[in-house]
Structure 1
Amino acid sequence: MATRNVVLTPHQEQVIHDLVQSGRYQNASEVMREGLRLLEQRVAEDNAKIEALRQATSIGIMDLEHGRFTQVNEGDLEHYLEGLSLEATLPAREKH
């Protein structure tokens, strides 16, 4: 494995020390590897969310272009959103 020198704040150094002292990790390298693993996981999750938003945006734009939308005036917006909220909380069998 490659060796790297990393500058840590006193707080970060203390966190690593405490985790090793707790016995959860054998050494600072294990703590750092776990931190990087979690960061990789978070980045992958963020990328998946961004991709889902891009797809939803594309679908929304296509729906608008093809006239698949409901126009609601400002006065009816609260009532419309309440209906959507209620519909979203109903079990699937009650929606039909």
Structure 2
Amino acid sequence: MPTRNVVLTDHQAELVDSLVRSGRYQNASEVLREGLRLVERNAAEDAARLGALQKAAQTGWDDLDAGRFVDVEEHQLGQFIAGLGRQAKKRARVAQ
């Protein structure tokens, strides 16, 4: 297993020491490996969220290109959004 030297702030070093003293981890390496697993998981979740946003954006652009949209006047926007909320609520009830 490769060895790495890392520089920690005083706060980070105390946190590592505290976690080891608590018995939750046997040594500093376990603490750091757990931290890296969390970084890896967060990166995967961020990538999945970005992918979902990109897909939703593309769906929106495709709908615009195909003419599937409603042009709403600014003064009607609040009423239109309220109507969408009511539709979503009805769909949520049906899905349950």
- Indicate whether the TM-score tops 0.5: yes
Deviation at 1:87, TM superposition (A): 2.4
SS of the residue corresponding to residue 3 of structure 2 reads coil
The answer for the alignment partner of 1:79 in structure 2 is: 79
In 1, Cα distance between equivalents of 2:29 and 2:73: 59
Q: Aligned pairs, how many? A: 94
In 1, Cα distance between equivalents of 2:85 and 2:15: 43
The amino acid across from 1:46 in the alignment is D
| % same residue | 51
SS of the residue corresponding to residue 7 of structure 2 reads coil
The answer for the alignment partner of 2:94 in structure 1 is: 93
Q: Deviations over 1:26-72 (max 9, x none)?
A: 11000000000000000000001111111111111110000001111
Q: Taking structure 2 as the reference length, what is the TM-score of the superposition?
A: 0.90
Q: Which runs of 5+ in 2 are unaligned?
A: none
Equivalences for residues 26-65 of structure 1 within 5 A: 26-65=26-65
SS of the residue corresponding to residue 72 of structure 1 reads coil
In 2, Cα distance between equivalents of 1:50 and 1:69: 24
Q: Taking structure 1 as the reference length, what is the TM-score of the superposition?
A: 0.90
Deviation at 1:89, TM superposition (A): 2.9
- When the two chains are superposed, the root-mean-square deviation of aligned CA atoms in Å is 1.4
